[in-house]
Structure 1
Amino acid sequence: MKSRSPTKTEKKTEAGKGKRLAPEVRRAQMLDAAARMIVEQGYLPLPVEELARQVGASKGLVYAYFPTQYDLFNTLLEREIDSLLLGGLETASQVKDLEQAAVLCAMLYFEHVARSGPLLNILMTDLYMAGHLSPKVRHSCEAIAVRLTHLAARELPCSEEEIHAAIEMMTAIPDEAGRLVFHRELDQTTARQICHGLIESCLKALRAPEKVSVPD
C-alpha cells in the first residue's frame, strides 16, 4: 500500500510540535526511530504512539507515511538489504569459490549487525511478518540464497535440502556474533575471529561429513 500525503491537519500538528521537516527527512527520521525501537524491544509490532512521541509527530502523521506497520517494516527491510548489497554482499555472493564467498558474505553480515544491531534478523524471523514480506524483499533474499546454493551444489556432497539447512545455520553465526558485539557482550576482534573460524569449520564438515565424529 502506498503512503498518502499528510493532510492539512496533520501538517499543522507537525508544525505545532516544532520545525516542519521535508517529507524525505521526516520519513527517514521515523525509520531511524523505528529501527532503534525494534532492536531495543527485540520483537514486533511497535507501539505507534511511542514511535510518534520519539519523532515529535502525531500518530496520524506516522500513519500518513506508513499506513500499516507492514509497510514500515518492509521499508526498513529494504533499507537494510540495500545497505548490505551496496556494502559488498552482492559482489561477495558472486565469487566463484565457495569458501571465499561464504566467508566474505558472513563477515560482511557480521560487521553490519555489530554496527547496526540484529534488526534484519528480527524483521525477517518475527511471526508478525509471516506472509507479509514485500516482493522486493523476497526477491533480494532469494537471489543471494540461490547463488550460494548453486555454488555449494557444485562443490559439496550434499542434497539441496541439506545445503539450504546449512546456509540457514551458517547465517545464524554472524548474526549472533554481531549481536553480542552490538550489545557489548563480546569484543569485536574476538567475535570476528570466532565467526570466521566457525564458518570455515562448517564448510570443512560439509565437504567431508563422513570424517566428522559425533559423540553418542
Structure 2
Amino acid sequence: MPLAASRSRRRLAPKERKALILDHTAAMIAREGVAQLSVERIGKEAGISKSLVYAYFPNLTELLRELYQREMKRFRRLQAEAAATATTFEELVRSITHVYLTYMHERGLLIERLQSEPSVSQAHDPTEFSRDRAVDYLTEIVIHHFDLPRDIARAATDISFGLPASAGAYLQRGNLDLKTLEDLTVTMIIGTIVHVKDEYVVRRQPLRAPTS
C-alpha cells in the first residue's frame, strides 16, 4: 500500500503531517530534481490537497528550506555519531566515508540539489552546516596523528574531504558497488595523507655530505 494511502486512513497529528510532506518532497527531489517541483504536485504525491500543504508551509521556498535544514542536521548528526565511535584514524575515515556514501545511496542527490538552490542554502547561517567546520575538526586530528604543520595538514584534509563527494557521484552512476567505492575512497584518503607526511619529512631532512 502506498505511504500516502496508508496514512490517509487515519488523522495525522500536525507533526506527522508535516514530516509526511517533507518526506514526499525529498523523494521527488531525489528522483526528479527541483525544477519541476510545485506545491500542487507535492500535495498530489502526498495524497493531500494543495491548500493543506500551504497550511504548513507558506510557499515552496520555505518548504525547501525546512527540508534542507532537516536533511543537513540528520546528515551531520550521523557523521558525528560515526566519528565518535572511531578508535583509529582508519576507522574515523571509514566511518565518515561510510555515512556519506550510504546517505547518497539511500537519498540520492537530495542535499546537492537543495544546495544548488541559492534561495534555500543561503537562507541559513553559513557556519551552521559548514564544510569548513568539519575540515577544521579533522585537521586537528591529522595534526595530532601525523605531526604535520597546520597549513599542510589543513590543505591535505580539505583536498581529501572532496573525495567522498566524487565517490558519491560515481556511486550514482552505478559503475561500482558501495562497498568497493568505500574501500577505494578510504584507501585514497589515507594514502594521500600518509604520502604527504612521508614527502614532507624527506624534504625537511638535512643534506648529507657524500661519503668517500
- TM-score range for the pair, normalised by the shorter chain length: 0.5 to 0.7
Counterpart of 1:72 (choices 60, 63, 66) is 63
Alignment match, 1:199: 189
Deviation at 1:132, TM superposition (A): 1.2
Alpha-carbon distance between aligned partners in 2 of 1:102 and 1:125, rounded to the nearest angstrom: 26
Counting only pairs closer than 5 Å after superposition, residues 164-183 of structure 1 correspond to structure 2 as 166-182=156-172
Alpha-carbon distance between aligned partners in 1 of 2:198 and 2:116, rounded to the nearest angstrom: 31
Deviation at 1:34, TM superposition (A): 1.1
Counting only pairs closer than 5 Å after superposition, residues 5-20 of structure 1 correspond to structure 2 as 19=9, 20=11
Alignment match, 1:139: 128
Alpha-carbon distance between aligned partners in 2 of 1:111 and 1:124, rounded to the nearest angstrom: 19
Counterpart of 1:106 (choices 97, 114, 117) is 97
Residues 1:32 and 2:23 are matched in the alignment? yes
TM-score by length of 2: 0.68
Deviations 1:18-60 (Å, cap 9, x if unpaired)? 6443222221111111111222234568322221221122333
Alpha-carbon distance between aligned partners in 1 of 2:121 and 2:33, rounded to the nearest angstrom: 16
Alignment match, 1:7: none
Alpha-carbon distance between aligned partners in 1 of 2:106 and 2:114, rounded to the nearest angstrom: 17
2:181 partner letter: A
Deviations 1:120-169 (Å, cap 9, x if unpaired)? 23323443435212x4x842446534322333455433528x82x65454
Residues 1:84 and 2:49 are matched in the alignment? no
Alignment match, 1:5: none
30-39 or 139-148, larger mean C-alpha shift = 139-148
Alignment match, 2:114: 123
CA RMSD of aligned residues (A): 3.5
Deviations 1:50-97 (Å, cap 9, x if unpaired)? 212211223332232122444323332333234334435245168686
Conservation of the 8 A alpha-carbon contact between 2:167 and 2:185? yes
The 1:95–1:189 alpha-carbon spacing in structure 2 relative to 1, beyond 3 Å, is: closer
Conservation of the 8 A alpha-carbon contact between 1:110 and 1:174? yes
TM-score by length of 1: 0.67
Identical amino acids, percent of aligned pairs: 26
Conservation of the 8 A alpha-carbon contact between 1:44 and 1:126? no
Q: Structure 1 regions of 5+ residues with no counterpart?
A: 1-17, 212-216
Alignment match, 1:190: 180
Q: Structure 2 regions of 5+ residues with no counterpart?
A: 1-7, 203-212
Paired residue secondary structure (1:139): coil
The 1:79–1:199 alpha-carbon spacing in structure 2 relative to 1, beyond 3 Å, is: same
